[in-house]
Amino acid sequence: MFKPKYRLTHTLVKYLTQISDYRSSILNARLVPKWAVNLRKEALIRSTYASTSIEGNPLSFEEVSDLMIGRDVLALTKDKKEVINYFSALEKLDNLTINQKPVLTQADVLALHKLITKGVLKSTKYVGKYRSDKEYVLLRNRASGEVTYLPPPTKKVPQLMADLLAWINVNQETDLNPVLEAGIVHYELVRIHPFMDGNGRTGRALATLILIRRGFDTKRFFSLDDFYNSDRERYYQVLKSVHEQDYDLTKWLEYFGEGVAISLKSVKDKILKLGGLKKQNSEEPQISLRNDQIKIIELANQNGSVTNREVQKLLRVSNKKAYQLLHELVNLKILMRVGLGRSVRYTNKT
């Protein structure tokens, strides 16, 4: 039976509190960027770039972005396939929500690994399957060759994964904080090291899936992989420290919580640039804004107001189009028209 060991330290509670506050600010904001076009797509691309980069993929963020919109880049087929696979896997996580898949199974984890590794591993026999042809696997430092970790024996992998999944499915009915659950699942899959390759990417994708299944990140608006990739050495050091501290997950969960908090704060700050207005009540729908609308609001916030001519210059549009865009924001009760004739300006409606 899997039973993780950790303590709710002051640091961990601090991050969980920040996470709750940032998430609440995002969900209760009246004005938000259009999720599907902006934050969600950006987060998926950043996650894809960061998670594959951690594993040594050489493609730049710009090259990954180009691949995701259908442009070809000059790179090895394997490297491009690795990126495309991970992006596809992240997109398909929505098919594994609790409503669509009440119980998460080993077959689901194997299918996720297959999505991530298909066409990029040395042998197809390792794709979507647990390691089986070696009793032990040694993880070595690529530079020195030093053994850095000895995962559990291969014969124990199926039972260890069964125990982990049983724990995940039980926690769907408990009040365990979803951030803690995601962090624990991330570490445990990396510890078990159930696959010959692709364990890191699968572990990070599985952590994202936990946040989706628990209703924490249903809009997919942040990239935790970005945080890991910003300091890869620290990421690996904190993972390694759990083993050195008799499998106490506290330091790892503090690190994981810090990453979620920083990632959510970044999203919150973007929304605050739109004025930071809150919904009047929980029934009021959020207003999803296009890129052009966001730019107009940000200019109005910066200068106190905005004119038709300023919108024309900002967006390189005609007088008629600028009027149409401003009129949309007036109808949405975001801006209000002040003055008459040539002196007309548009200010934030507060």
Ranking 27-41, 95-109, 113-127, 295-309 by mean pLDDT, the lowest is 27-41
Strand pairing category for 139-140 and 147-149:
antiparallel
| Torsion angle (degrees, nearest 10) of CA 122, 52, 261, 251 | 40
Average pLDDT, the chain: 87
Amino acid at 278: K
Output 217 or 83, whichever has higher pLDDT: 83
Average pLDDT over residues 13-41: 77
Are the beta carbons of 190 and 173 closer than 8 angstroms? no
Cα 192 to the chain's mean position, in Å? 23
SS3 141: coil
pLDDT above 70 as % of the chain = 88
pLDDT category of residue 36 using cuts at 50, 70 and 90: very low
Q: Does residue 35 carry a pLDDT above 50? A: no
Q: Does residue 278 carry a pLDDT above 60? A: no
Q: Does residue 275 carry a pLDDT above 80? A: no
* Token digits of residue 100: 């669509």
Domains of the chain by range and CATH?
Answer: 10-272 (1.10.3290.10), 290-348 (1.10.10.10)
Ranking 39-43, 135-139, 246-250, 330-334 by mean pLDDT, the lowest is 135-139
Q: pLDDT value at position 85?
A: 95
pLDDT above 90 as % of the chain = 56
Contacts of 279-285 with CB under 8 Å at 24 or more apart are 279/28, 279/29, 279/30, 280/30, 284/30
pLDDT digits (tens, 9 = 90+) for 82-104: 999 999 999 899 888 877 888 99
d(CA 151, CA 326): 60
Output 5 or 100, whichever has higher pLDDT: 5
pLDDT category of residue 304 using cuts at 50, 70 and 90: confident
Are the beta carbons of 71 and 24 closer than 8 angstroms? no
d(CA 253, CA 349): 42
pLDDT category of residue 50 using cuts at 50, 70 and 90: very high
